[in-house]
Amino acid sequence: MSREPNDDLLLEKRYLNALSQGDSSALSGLYELYGERIFRYAYRMLGNRNDAEDATAETFLRVLRRSTELRADGAFRTWLFRITRNLCIDRMRQHKLLELPSDAHYASPEDRTALKVTVRQALSDLPMEYREPLVLCDLEDVSAKEAAEILKITVPALKSRLYRGRRALRDKLGGAFEKK
Amino acid sequence: MKQESLTQHLVDLYAGNELSLELMEELEFDALQNAALAADMQSLRSVVHALQALPTPEFSEESNQRIRMKLFAGGMGADPSRSRASEPAFLQHYLPISG
């Protein structure tokens, strides 16, 4: 059964309060709420499962380490994405993965069409400043406002990067989307 | 030049479905007489659709378990609501007492 967003916020508040009072088991609830989304985001950023698992685990462990400072003020999810983003950037720097293509393990057989592989490749070839808004807004369906907060930029700057990113992606894809 | 950048911005908004219906119809009407504009609109919108059609990374049970193990190793306490309840007595198996 799917949960309503308001239910998630109530649960988030309850878990954050419990965590700030020293109940480390509440982290499991927060992981239950956001773990999958954080993993997906990390996977799209890093392009491989192992690194995405590490980044996801480390994100939640950082929450645990700062549990006494947590406040249930509605900005927790944004903060969570921001931690993941920083971890992903660190990891990419460590592995010098910035320009490497993602691995192909997350494509199911029917998804291995030439176009999708090409689009994914073109996306991973984009500079980070363009790739990040595209991953957040077009792939993870994060609102422009929240994406701007995650990336610590203004909403107009986010939108400008998003639009330029789409155009850059189209340029990389060459004639694949030319009007017939 | 100013007009050109305004049109480009409208196309950007069109591609992301951020235009009002009225403006969208107006832009589409303009595109009927302007092949370059039509190509820009269609190709950019196709890019957005292609992006949104990319497969979602699978969050497998194995990944979930590996992450949980790391969290437990890092100090996450066991959640009592998720711990397995002990099996009822009638499901427990006893080894026969050998004599």
What residue ranges define each of the domains in chain A, with the CATH number in brackets? 1-100 (1.10.1740.10), 107-174 (1.10.10.10)
Query: Are A43 and B57 an interchain contact pair (Cβ–Cβ within 8 Å)?
Result: yes
Q: Determine the straight-line distance between the first and last CA of chain B, rounded to whole angstroms.
A: 99
Please report the residues numbered 30 through 89 in chain B whose beta carbons come closer than 8 angstroms to any beta carbon of chain A: 35, 38-39, 42-44, 46-48, 50-59, 63-64, 66-68, 70-71, 74-80, 82
**Distance (Å, whole) CA B63 – CA B69:** 10
Picking from A76, A66, A6, the residue whose alpha carbon sits closest to that of residue A34 is A76
Least trusted range by pLDDT, from A33-37, A122-126, B50-54, B86-90: B86-90
Closest Cβ–Cβ partner in B38, B77, B79 for A179: B38
Closest alpha carbon to A80 in A109, A53, A55, A117: A55
Per-residue confidence (pLDDT) for residue B11, from 0 to 100:
94
Domain ranges of chain B: 2-52
Best probe of the A interface among B43, B62, B69, by most A CBs < 10 A, is: B43
Nearest CB among B15, B39, B48 relative to A179 is that of B39
- Residues B18-76 have pLDDT tens digits of 999 999 999 999 999 999 999 999 999 999 999 988 888 999 999 999 999 999 998 88
**Nearest chain B Cα to A35, which residue?**
B64
Interface contact flag, B78 A28, Cβ < 8 Å: yes
pLDDT at B86 over 50: no
Average pLDDT over residues A166-178: 82
- Written as six digits, the tokens of A172 are 């990389």
Alpha carbons B9 and B1: distance in angstroms, whole number: 12
Q: Given an 8 Å threshold on Cβ–Cβ distance, is B15 in contact with A178?
A: no
Q: What's the pTM?
A: 0.77
Residue A164 binned pLDDT confidence (cut-offs 50, 70, 90): very high
Backbone φ and ψ for B30, nearest 5 degrees, come out as: -60, -40
Quick check: A61 pLDDT over 90? yes
CB contacts, 8 Å: A107 with chain B: 55
Among candidates B43, B55, B67 on the partner chain, residue whose Cβ is nearest the Cβ of A57 = B67
| DSSP category for residue B1 | -
What would the two tokens of residue B18 be?
């951020």
Q: What is the pLDDT of residue B85?
A: 44
pLDDT tens profile A104-161: 444 454 544 566 778 888 998 899 999 999 999 999 989 999 999 999 999 999 999 9
The pLDDT assigned to B34 comes to: 93
Q: Which amino acid is located at B48 in the chain?
A: V
Confidence of residue B5 (pLDDT cuts 50, 70, 90): confident
User: Chain A: nearest CA to B75, how far in angstroms?
Assistant: 7
- Closest-CA distance, A93 to chain B, in angstroms, reads 22
Question: What are the structure tokens assigned to A11, written together?
Answer: 């649960």
Q: Do B77 and A25 touch (CB under 8 A)?
A: yes
Mean pLDDT of A80-98: 82
